[in-house]
Homo-oligomer: A and B are copies of this chain.
């Protein structure tokens, strides 16, 4: 395994050693309390692991011995840390449970297979013996995709794929690479760059998530406009199932029936365990530019994105914050700091050019060969100017790029202070996006007010367009709110429900790039239709007749 898991937080995000300036910036916390209508923030620390009891493992000695026989003794783990680490993913909802010391979903053991054959043996034995298997990549799910919920089974084990992390080979002529599914983002990226190619899949979880996880939840990296989503770059996969190995087509294109590779994308461990994947790789980009623009309002920024993407301008990323997100990041970052001369000049210019409260910031990224980057950047700047934008230079883009994986770390200092913070995302067509945006924003604001711990308390609801397509775009919401400490899980659920109901009612998908997991499962029938869910269930039954794989995910019982 290429990451020492002991250095990763079992109940929070990423490296335990990570330090953020903001945690110690008391001025920022005062500002935030004020914004949220709270007189002060409370100390709400997480419970330490040593204080938390775990139920005894339900795996029988003979079952444990059988797994040890398949994998080797050191690859069957049931110590406290391992079980706790694998109890849940890393959503706000997960963190609420983990920090409160609720480890009821901890698996009975954690298995570390070394390859496809071992996975097949594990699945065969588990299927014959009624043991639930929860496939686990990096464990960074934010929708409850790795929760070890398995009441209907005599035991549940986490199948941790991080021991399978080899780059198997590169076919340079065909621009494909084949790797084991448990490989972490940075390990894969480094191995590919050593041969001067990239996959280009950089989700916010990049440092802590795996190739198999990206495919299983049909994810999108931050630069998917340039490199494609998982469903664009996945060529072929090996899926280990209780009924044997499914190896999907590896042709560049085919009309021989539905493409089985497409069924693995989004399968979330419910159809099988992805053990290997062949992906499309591209030459490592010669140039990379991230630059900022300011638009007068969200509508103009969105219109510029739509024009660019429909025209086919090859941007790597067009990320447009709404007015609230623009304001929040400026103010939160600035709180307690003395304004620099440059910053005061910038304010004066904005004032002069009449970018008022509705101003929105965009980060536009371009990657590839130098000529294409230069041409795209130039063309996008022209389009942005047509919609009234002002270029604000590359420093904003560089700052964004440097911090592009750090967002999730902000949650814990907030959760330490009685605050809640979560994100959710959706996508819809361009013609529905304004109504969807308004409905979700209003559902979030209203429910946060209704569930707030005191009258007058309120949330901050920020949004950005993160990914765009000729037919539409995604909306990514971040919301911060004062926690109802006597029922914070119920509060989260009420907010989530209101927002997701609004999404479904306004033609948005329940997830653009996070997946279904347990959290979105209540809406899957509305998303896919009852008959559509029957189709998914039929696929599952064909591959996993006993239903041992990731119970409670993807397909409602």
- Closest CB of chain B to A51's CB: distance in Å? 36
Candidates B251, B264, B535; contact of A246 at CB < 8 Å = B535
- Closest CB of chain B to A252's CB: distance in Å? 3
- Closest CB of chain B to A224's CB: distance in Å? 8
Which chain B residues lie closer than 8 Å to A282 at the CB level? 310, 470
Tell me if A188 counts as interface (CB < 8 A to partner B): no
Once bound together, how far apart are the Cα atoms of A247 and B174, in whole Å?
Answer: 36
Once bound together, how far apart are the Cα atoms of A554 and B257, in whole Å?
Answer: 7
The residue on B at minimum CB distance from A314 is B312
Whether the Cβ atoms of A472 and B252 lie closer than 8 Å is yes
Which chain B residues lie closer than 8 Å to A312 at the CB level? 314, 368, 372
Which of A220, A243, A250, A520: most chain B Cβ within 10 A? A250
Whether the Cβ atoms of B539 and A428 lie closer than 8 Å is no
Tell me if A140 counts as interface (CB < 8 A to partner B): no
The residue on B at minimum CB distance from A245 is B531
Tell me if A288 counts as interface (CB < 8 A to partner B): no
Once bound together, how far apart are the Cα atoms of A150 and B541, in whole Å?
Answer: 28
- Closest CB of chain B to A225's CB: distance in Å? 11
- Closest CB of chain B to A538's CB: distance in Å? 4
Once bound together, how far apart are the Cα atoms of A312 and B285, in whole Å?
Answer: 13
Which chain B residues lie closer than 8 Å to A512 at the CB level? 251, 253-255
Whether the Cβ atoms of A252 and B471 lie closer than 8 Å is yes
Once bound together, how far apart are the Cα atoms of A528 and B258, in whole Å?
Answer: 10
- Closest CB of chain B to A380's CB: distance in Å? 15
The residue on B at minimum CB distance from A532 is B260
Given contacts A174-B431, A218-B254, A254-B218, contact A263 B515 (CB under 8 A): no
Tell me if A491 counts as interface (CB < 8 A to partner B): no
Given contacts A253-B220, A472-B174, contact A538 B536 (CB under 8 A): no
Tell me if A319 counts as interface (CB < 8 A to partner B): no
Once bound together, how far apart are the Cα atoms of A427 and B235, in whole Å?
Answer: 14
Whether the Cβ atoms of A527 and B249 lie closer than 8 Å is yes
Candidates B246, B256, B430; contact of A173 at CB < 8 Å = B430
Whether the Cβ atoms of B219 and A255 lie closer than 8 Å is yes
Residues of A participating in the B interface, judged by any CB pair closer than 8 Å: 171, 173-176, 217-220, 229, 231, 235, 241, 243-260, 262-268, 280, 282, 306, 310-312, 314, 368-369, 372, 427-431, 467, 469-474, 507-516, 520, 524, 527-529, 531-532, 534-539, 541-543, 554
3 interchain residue pairs of minimum CB distance? A252-B472, A538-B542, A254-B509
Sample of 6 more A-B contacts, CB < 8 Å, known A175-B470, A256-B528: A176-B471, A247-B529, A251-B508, A253-B467, A258-B267, A258-B539
